[in-house]
Amino acid sequence: MTGAEHHHHHHHTGQDPAECRRYLESLSDYVDGALSEDLCRELETHMSSCENCRVVVNTLSKTVTLYQQLPSPDIPSDVKQRLYKVLDISPFYEPGSPTADAPSATATE
């Protein structure tokens, strides 16, 4: 980025790839709300005439949201049992409920 950029916007043609490219690296900060005010205004001016960049911003933001909503994977009980074994400690029992979470002896295999 060069320091002093003074661009005035008279573009009515939105989808100029060179123009879009200029903003590409700002889009991620933009969806985080972390873009400087000036750049933010510039980008929004650009987006008002550029359908593609609007879509990219919308879907970029949606991509992040989808991943945030992705349920975290559960730890399989056999993985946990092997962990306790490797660490050579007895599994944790909630005080007062000695049977809670006790590894069930349902022998598989």
Partner 1 sequence: MSQPENAELVMRLKAGDQAAFAQLVEENASKIYGLALRMMGNETDAEDVLQETFLSAFKAIDQFEERSSLSTWLYRIASNAALMRLRRKEPELVSVDEPVETDDGDLMPRQFFDFCCLPEDYLMRGEAREELARAIEELPPTLRSVFVLRDIEGFSTEETADTLDLSISAVKSRLMRARLKLRERLSVYFSQGPVIAETRSGS
What is the binding site for partner 1 (CB under 8 A)?
A: 17, 20-21, 24-25, 27-29, 31, 51-52, 55-56, 58-64, 66-76, 79-80, 82-84, 86-87, 89-93, 101
Minimum CB separation from partner 1 for residue 97, in Å? 13
Of 75, 83, 17, 13, nearest in space to 48 by CA? 13
Separation of alpha carbons 2 and 76, rounded Å: 52
**Token code pair at residue 109:** 């295999």
The answer to whether 65 and 31 have CB atoms below 8 angstroms apart is no
Minimum CB separation from partner 1 for residue 88, in Å? 9
Choice between 44 and 80, CB closer to partner 1: 80
